[in-house]
Amino acid sequence: MVLLECKWAALPAVSYDSPNGPRHIISDDGLLIEHNNIKKFAFELSDLIRDEERRVKLSENAFKNRHMFSAKEVMKKWNDLL
């Protein structure tokens, strides 16, 4: 849920690429870090903090992508499935 909230708040999400979920939510609007790679996570997060241009671009993408998980879009997928 936090990853979806990031989109609605126009924030880039930074997450481990854990087995279920994040890779299906984060696309060009955040960062997926190898599962449990703490050093890489810290490096990428620090880099994102320093790089305003990158942060702004990811934020803009998050805002554009927020509707992918709206109730209307989710219901459309459920109806297609049925």
**Per-residue model confidence (pLDDT) at position 9:** 94
Q: Give the mean pLDDT of 3-32.
A: 93
Provide the CATH topology of domain 2-81: Rossmann fold (3.40.50)
Domain-wise residue ranges, the chain: 2-81
Q: What is the dihedral of CA 11, 17, 23, 27, to 10 degrees?
A: 40
HSE, side-chain direction, 13 A CA sphere, residue 77: 7
Look at residue 1 and tell me whether its pLDDT is greater than 90: no
Q: What is the dihedral of CA 25, 31, 33, 36, to 10 degrees?
A: -70
pTM equals: 0.83
**Per-residue model confidence (pLDDT) at position 19:** 84
What kind and span of H or E run contains 14?
A: strand 13-16
